[in-house]
Amino acid sequence: MSLRRLWAVARKEFLHVRRDARSLGMGIAMPVLLLCLFGWALTLDVDRVPLVVWDQCGSQSSRDLAAELAGSRYFALRGRAGSYAEIERAIDRREALGALVIPPDFDRRLWTGRGAPVQLIVDGSDANTATIASGYAQAAVRGYSQGVVLREIRRAGLRPPAPPLDPRARVWFNEDLTGRNYIIPGLIAVIMMVIAALLTALTVAREWERGTMEQLVSTPLKGPELVLGKLLPYFAIGMFDVLLAVLMGAFLFGVPMRGSLALLFAMAAVFLAGALSLGMLFSIVTRSQLLASQMAMVLTFLPAFLLSGLMYAIPNMPAGIRAVTYLVPARYFVHLLRGIYLKGVGLEVLAPEAALLAAFSAAMIALAMRKFRKKLT
């Protein structure tokens, strides 16, 4: 392999990227745009759930219960209702995702010790939000109920019994339970996977479609020199994108960086080499820019977004789907980034994922070189 010929191909590709504003824009502006869009749009936090209240009792106790829910960060009181029809209209129009119904005899049953039932209606069309909001509401009602019991015990001149259990939860690695801290590192992996494959998916196919491949074939240039030479400019762009993503994560989204930046960039380099080679492989096999870009989008974005663990926990997936996730390289990079960002761990913990990522990159580079032939047919 001649480094001189390799650099000549890399320089030619650098010049093409510099002169092609669309390629340069897709390589730099698109990751920034996607990170901003998904970083603010995607969230796992369920709070400020819009709620309406139908208070049929109208007592101080019923108002206190409604205030217990409305005063928490998890619910936002959107108004009052006077019937089930009004509740249904509010939920149908998305003005509310839930409703609290307090019966007319709430106060009387509460203070006579007979148990006062209250009804919580939740919009089940959003199953995840409904489940979480229902749990929040039940916890708030239990807290209000315990407060009532304690007040009655103190009013009777008795000492409240000590609770048999005293749970003290402590959250590690994401103390504020901020969904953005969990989402942003995974987003970096998915966006880099898609952009890298799309960038190189057009390189070799473009040479075939423009008729310049015949000139390259007639030169002493070898296949590995062409493949690596075309990868180098996009590798530089990809590493610059990683730097931008890290800076945006720190200063725009406030995601803590607890691990080694050097390890993060090293793993990003390994991942980018594999993702770029995958796009190059699509370009070599199809010889069509349109088909190569479509393959890159379908075979990188969908698996990376759905099967990497970015949005959906892999252990909760069916066994067959879990087996498929082992073929998705973004799965390992997502795990690596979250370990470096949130836990501050190194290769002593992340070595298996790093080794699998290196194996993927080596396999993609070797396959791209093997598939390229200096032949016109």
Quote the pLDDT of residue 374: 60
Would you kindly state where each structural domain of the chain is located, as residue ranges?
A: 3-43+178-371, 49-155
Please list the rounded mean pLDDT of every run of 10 residues in the chain (377 residues): 77 78 75 84 78 89 86 85 90 89 86 81 84 85 82 77 76 80 87 84 75 68 79 88 91 89 94 90 83 84 86 86 91 93 91 94 90 65
- Give the right CATH number for 49-155 from 3.40.1710.10, 3.60.20.30, 3.40.50.970, 3.90.330.10: 3.40.1710.10
pLDDT at 301: 82
pLDDT at residue 204, as a whole number? 74
**In contact, 265 and 236? CB cutoff 8 Å:** no
Q: Closest Cα to residue 337, out of 237, 270, 252, 238? A: 270
pLDDT at site 211: 67
Please write the tens of the pLDDT for every residue from 244-301. Answer: 999 999 898 888 899 999 999 999 999 999 999 988 888 888 878 788 888 888 888 8
Cα Rg, the chain, nearest whole Å: 29
In SS3 terms, 117-135 reads as CCEEEECCCCHHHHHHHHH
Compute the distance between CA of residue 106 and CA of residue 61 in angstroms, rounded to an integer.
8
Please report the pLDDT score of residue 246 as a whole number.
Answer: 92
Q: The pTM is what?
A: 0.79
